[in-house]
Amino acid sequence: MGGVTSSMAAKFAFFPPNPPSYKLITDDLTGLLLLSPFPHRENVEILKLPTRKGTEIVAMYIRHPMASSTLLYSHGNAADLGQMYELFIELSIHLRVNLMGLIGSPGYSSPTIMNASVLEINLPLLFAYVSVCRYDYSGYGQSTGKPSEQHTYADIEAAYKCLEESYGTKQEDIILYGQSVGSGPTLDLAARLPQLKAVVLHSPILSGLRVMYPVKRSYWFDIYKNIDKIPLVNCPVLIIHGTSDEVVDCSHGKQLWELCKEKYEPLWLKGGSHCDLEHYPEYIRHLKKFISTVEKSPSQRYSSRRSTDHFEQARKSTDFFEVSRKSTDRREKPRPSTERPEKLKNHSNNADKLEKLRMSFDQMERSRRSVDCHEKSRKSIDHQLERARKSVDRLDRIRNG
């Protein structure tokens, strides 16, 4: 039963275009790999990367010379590099980014490509100086092998390894972006990279099985168990989901956000479906805000939050001290109360009254003691005067006798 269900989930998850939308050719003069029928661009590199599963995937790296971060992009499930090529060129131009990515599609259905006018209007508002890496899953486009969950994990590892070894990209400069099924390999890798800069999840899934059935627990035969992996991610996580998503319900994104260790303000696009979120102006603005935030150094990013946290802890500390002081003032040890809030309030008022009475009695006692001390001093002086007077009288009697 488990194997059958897992196979069903895999068939539901992967829809590689057939035939592929591009061909891979080698330029006779330069020896560079090219995507046919697309023209060669100086800042675009086409790569063939071996994976630990024995397959070879095709990746596209779009470089920007001033990039400080690299976006490793894992898309959905129904497109390949050829279908997304022009979109990513536009992204690199308007975002001034280096780009490397693993391709799928914008979702489970056929891909929706943003047109140039949308990019011209919105994308300049986004972040600057980010490289982008994108790649075809095994079995997609001209990548060899067959698509599967385990293959996609090996695929994203190969792309990540390429960024580290071929381009010198550091873990702390990488932002993982996963859309739809792409959220699976994204979170699997993110859970194993403790110094990652950030993660973006676009219409993510809780798990493959949960897209089809509302199961309450994770089964061994399920695929892409993001629900179990996202608590292991240590970096900031942005989640974007459409409220009218007909393929992956918005509840998937909301539940994942609740499980994030380091939550960033999510974006729930009202009326957004599974394949059109890029068209919303809010998408661009919110992504820009997120990227700008994580581009800051960790000390800058967390200084204000730490400051408010420190203030809050100090306030709570003084509150605790105050509670402890009042507790020690009481004659009896405080006991956990099971009374209603009103009774607790009355009890607190009575305690305040008793405290005031005790202070009044203390003041009266101090005053009385002060008076007694004064009285004793006065009697001592009177006694000394009396003794002196008697001494004088005795001297007079001696002299007269």
pLDDT for the residue numbered 374 = 47
Q: Is the pLDDT of residue 351 over 70?
A: no
The upper half-sphere exposure of residue 1, i.e. CA atoms within 13 Å in the direction of its Cβ, equals 2
pLDDT for the residue numbered 363 = 58
State how far the Cα of 102 lies from the Cα of 47, in Å rounded to an integer. Answer: 12
Residue of 173, 245, 249, 276 marked catalytic: 245
pLDDT for the residue numbered 77 = 83
The two three-digit tokens of residue 394, written as one number: 């005795």
- Cis bond before residue 37 (omega within 30° of 0): yes
CA 236 to chain centre: 3
Lowest mean pLDDT among 66-80, 284-298, 354-368: 354-368
Can you tell me the mean pLDDT for 291-300?
A: 76
pLDDT for the residue numbered 241 = 98
State how far the Cα of 20 lies from the Cα of 68, in Å rounded to an integer. Answer: 33
| C-alpha dihedral (186, 187, 191, 195), degrees to nearest 10 | 50
Task: Tell me, yes or no, if 324 is annotated catalytic.
Answer: no
pLDDT for the residue numbered 303 = 54
- Gyration radius of the chain over CA positions: 37
| Whole-number average pLDDT of the chain | 75
3-state secondary structure of 351: helix
Can you tell me the mean pLDDT for 71-95?
A: 76
Task: Out of 95-104, 243-252, 384-393, give the one with best mean pLDDT.
Answer: 243-252
Q: Point out which residues pair with 70 in neighbouring strands.
A: 131, 174
Residue of 69, 92, 148, 180 marked catalytic: 180
Residue of 64, 241, 252, 274 marked catalytic: 274
Task: Tell me, yes or no, if 180 is annotated catalytic.
Answer: yes
pLDDT band at residue 245 under the 50/70/90 scheme: very high
pLDDT for the residue numbered 67 = 79
pLDDT for the residue numbered 399 = 55
Spell out the residues 6+ positions from residue 141 whose beta carbon is closer than 8 angstroms to its own.
16, 17, 20, 21, 22, 58, 80, 81, 82, 103
The two three-digit tokens of residue 59, written as one number: 């990746």
pLDDT for the residue numbered 327 = 41
Can you tell me the mean pLDDT for 193-199?
A: 97
Task: Tell me, yes or no, if 337 is annotated catalytic.
Answer: no
pLDDT for the residue numbered 117 = 33
More confident residue, 317 or 210: 210
Among 395, 6, 39, CA closest to 223: 6
Task: Out of 13-27, 167-181, 371-385, give the one with best mean pLDDT.
Answer: 167-181
Can you tell me the mean pLDDT for 197-223?
A: 95
pLDDT for the residue numbered 296 = 80
Spell out the residues 6+ positions from residue 377 whose beta carbon is closer than 8 angstroms to its own.
none
